């Protein structure tokens, strides 16, 4: 009886080549597994294609709701943005995919998991750290690090020699990754940072701000303890909220990012990311936190957000530090409940008002009119104490300047 390997299968060129390659080089029984985190029609026909290419079995694991609830929302609540721009769309999907691959491998009694990530990319790190954390006994096979194939042309030749259909669309060679949260684009003119992206050809989820409507769109989002729960007073599941906001945001040119980023393996790469719904949710969540979090918590949380984003980006989801940061973030969200209204206009998100039963904004304190809670004279003593180090420093400087 042959040993089994579970392949993270997308039906693209790489994984189409990997099925026969595994059978030829390892004599494994290949089980193809696709984890659906919102790829849409990309999963259509994959079972037939994988079996036809040589897989013995195919799994399609539906994970849209789990993806948003357990991976997107924790990242959103942390306000985690990698290098100030990237909303971590690909990064947050990888630990979930790794988890599901491990579950299938354990169910099938497989000895290994195989992925099609390249030796230059981030995904090899993310997949393998997840597998090591959840099932250290499993072997990991990464063909791009060991086979003789060097290019897409080599892959196409490999398939043609074996009479296997080549799964590539002519005239569209961007490398894309799609899930419910975002769509990423790499390759072609994007490999030259001096060139402007060809947005008319590139974009799938969004229109450019120039092509967005000439009138604003208003949207109101309800949050409960940091989690989005309703749009325009209509309760929705996590996945439905993201889908709805993707449509609204895309129509208004929201969430198009062009980024040169630092990969985990040390090199810089350039990508264009479409995250229309996610960009809206980040903006709304941040507005509510401004209303509900105290100064010290808000300040420290911004520091945590940077580390949180770095851990997610580098695939360190299943680590003690990440678990601890998630616990901190969850604790800060106990009062992040309320409504946020936003105005969307040609790629811009403009605050249009927020309310919360836990709002720390006190009109009596903030108003220019003197209220009962604030005595202007108290400020004098505060400033004297707050400025004491400055005064002492100035006196020392003055005394020494006379020597």
What residues act catalytically?
14, 94, 123, 175
227: left (phi over 0), alpha (psi -120 to 50) or beta: beta
Query: What are the C-alpha distances in Å from 358 to residues 69, 179, 293, 355?
Result: 23, 34, 9, 9
Please check whether residue 288 is in contact with residue 356, taking contact to mean a CB–CB distance below 8 angstroms.
yes
Separation CA 255–CA 238 (nearest Å): 19
With a CB cutoff of 8 Å and minimum separation 6, the contacts of 370 are 376
Separation CA 88–CA 278 (nearest Å): 10
Which of 56, 76, 64, 72 has its CA nearest to residue 100? 64
Distance of CA 29 to the CA centre of its chain: 33
Query: Alpha helices, DSSP H only, in 70-185?
Result: 73-77, 89-108, 123-134, 152-161
Which of 278, 285, 283 has its CA nearest to residue 335? 285
Strand partners, 323: none
Please check whether residue 33 is in contact with residue 57, taking contact to mean a CB–CB distance below 8 angstroms.
no
With a CB cutoff of 8 Å and minimum separation 6, the contacts of 271 are 184, 185, 186, 190, 258, 259, 261
Secondary structure percentages of the chain, helix, strand, coil, to 5: 45, 20, 35
Separation CA 279–CA 273 (nearest Å): 11
């Amino acid at each position: 009886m042959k040993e089994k390997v579970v392949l993270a299968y997308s039906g693209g060129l790489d994984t189409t080549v990997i099925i026969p390659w595994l059978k030829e080089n390892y004599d494994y029984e290949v089980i193809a597994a696709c984890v659906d985190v919102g790829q849409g029609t990309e999963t259509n026909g994959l079972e037939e294609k994988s079996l036809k290419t040589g897989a013995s079995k195919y799994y399609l694991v539906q994970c849209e709701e789990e993806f948003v609830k357990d991976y997107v929302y924790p990242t959103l609540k942390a306000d985690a943005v990698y290098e100030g721009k990237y909303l971590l769309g690909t990064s947050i999907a990888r630990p979930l995919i790794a988890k599901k691959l491990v579950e299938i491998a354990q169910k099938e009694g497989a000895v290994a998991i195989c992925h099609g990530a390249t030796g230059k990319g981030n995904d090899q790190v993310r997949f393998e750290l997840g597998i090591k954390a959840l099932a250290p006994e499993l072997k990991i096979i990464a063909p791009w690090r060991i086979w003789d194939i060097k290019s897409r042309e080599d892959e196409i030749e490999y398939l043609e020699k074996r009479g296997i259909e080549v799964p590539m669309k002519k005239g569209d060679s961007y490398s894309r990754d799609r899930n419910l949260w975002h769509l990423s684009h790499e390759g072609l003119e994007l490999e030259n940072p001096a060139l402007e992206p060809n947005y008319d050809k590139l974009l799938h989820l969004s229109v450019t701000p120039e092509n967005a409507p000439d009138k604003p769109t208003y949207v109101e989002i309800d949050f409960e303890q940091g989690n989005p729960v309703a749009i325009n007073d209509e309760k929705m599941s996590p996945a439905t909220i993201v889908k709805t906001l993707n449509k609204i945001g895309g129509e208004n040119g929201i969430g198009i990012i062009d980024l040169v980023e630092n990969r985990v393996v040390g090199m810089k790469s350039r990508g264009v990311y479409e995250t229309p719904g996610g960009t809206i949710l980040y903006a709304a969540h941040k507005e509510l936190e401004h209303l509900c979090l105290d100064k010290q918590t808000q300040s420290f949380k911004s520091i945590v957000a940077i580390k949180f984003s770095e851990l997610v980006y580098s695939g360190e989801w299943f680590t003690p530090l990440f678990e601890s940061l998630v616990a901190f973030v969850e604790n800060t969200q106990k009062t992040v409940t309320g409504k946020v209204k936003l105005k969307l206009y040609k790629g811009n998100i403009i605050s249009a008002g927020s309310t919360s039963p836990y709002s720390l904004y006190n009109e009596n304190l903030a108003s220019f009119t003197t209220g009962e809670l604030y005595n202007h004279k108290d400020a004098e003593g505060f400033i004297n104490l707050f400025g004491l180090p400055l005064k002492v420093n100035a006196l020392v400087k003055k005394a020494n300047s006379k020597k």
